[in-house]
Amino acid sequence: MLFWPVGLALLGAILGSFIATLVIRWPQGRSVMTGRSHCDACDVALTPRDLVPLLSAALARGRCRTCGARIDARHWQIELAAAGIGCLAGIAVPGPVGLAGAVFGWLLLALAALDVTEFWLPDRLTGTLALAGLASGLAGIEPMLRDRLIGGAAGFGALWAIGAGYKLLRGREGLGGGDPKLLGAIGLWLGWAMLPAVLLLAAMTGLALVAVGMVMGRTATLADRVPFGALLAIAAYPAWLFLLGFPA
């Protein structure tokens, strides 16, 4: 009973380390796939003792052992989130289907982190999410492939139409170009029936964040930028857990 939750949590922590590196370095045009891991501040190569997810940073008290610079908090935050995603998938659906769901969550995590920090949803990453959704459908994982294809088209088409309509009425962009693509990719995972729930949960989460900000004294205007893609990602993973895990 513990194999899948623990195994996917450990795998998530390991992959979370790579996701954090990608989120930090990709927007800067720095290499992610080549070369040894190194400190972002002093560029010294890291040793195996520095690369244990969560544990190494905790033992070093969040600082580089060589230069003493503070380690970007996104490293441990993303590693912890990725471990949690894997653990939940292993609890909800133990087995290969849980692994597929964890992959869904890890890709969403990378996209959400990039959207929060950079307002950027890379097409390559969104495309990978979409292709993985198609692959899981072809492997026979629920929902049916037909529902996934309808969900992909409906997700993209709905948000694209909303964005185009807003621009026509207001004369300016109101929705990022990556958001319709992301909802389309999510539709290829969840099918069409779950998309209204994802949109509702994303919107409610955004409104809740705005309300909290206003309580804390921040002002909110229609011109404020909101990482809606991150909100979609945050809403989509619980929807997958409910769809495949909790009813069973």
Helix (H, G, I), strand (E, B) or coil at 121: coil
Q: Mark whether 191 and 139 lie in a shared domain.
A: yes
Based on the structure, what is the number of domains in the chain?
2
Q: Mark whether 126 and 219 lie in a shared domain.
A: yes
| Residue 13: count of CB within 10 angstroms of its CB | 23
**pTM of the predicted protein model:** 0.92
For residue 39, give its domain range.
1-92
Give, for all 248 residues of the chain, the pLDDT tens digit.
799 999 999 999 999 999 999 999 899 887 776 666 777 777 787 777 777 888 888 887 888 877 888 888 999 999 999 999 999 999 999 999 999 999 999 999 999 999 999 999 999 999 999 999 999 999 999 999 999 999 999 999 999 999 999 888 888 887 889 999 999 999 999 999 999 999 999 999 988 887 887 888 777 666 677 899 999 999 999 999 999 875 44
Long-range residue pairs from 135-139, CB within 8 A, at least 24 positions apart, any chain: 136/100, 136/104, 136/189, 137/188, 139/100
Q: Mark whether 155 and 217 lie in a shared domain.
A: yes
Does the residue 98 lie in any domain?
no
Q: Mark whether 140 and 200 lie in a shared domain.
A: yes
Does the residue 248 lie in any domain?
yes
User: Where does a domain end: 39, 71, 92?
Assistant: 92
Q: Mark whether 58 and 135 lie in a shared domain.
A: no
Q: Mark whether 133 and 65 lie in a shared domain.
A: no
Pairwise CA distance, residues 115 & 208, whole Å: 18
Does the residue 177 lie in any domain?
yes
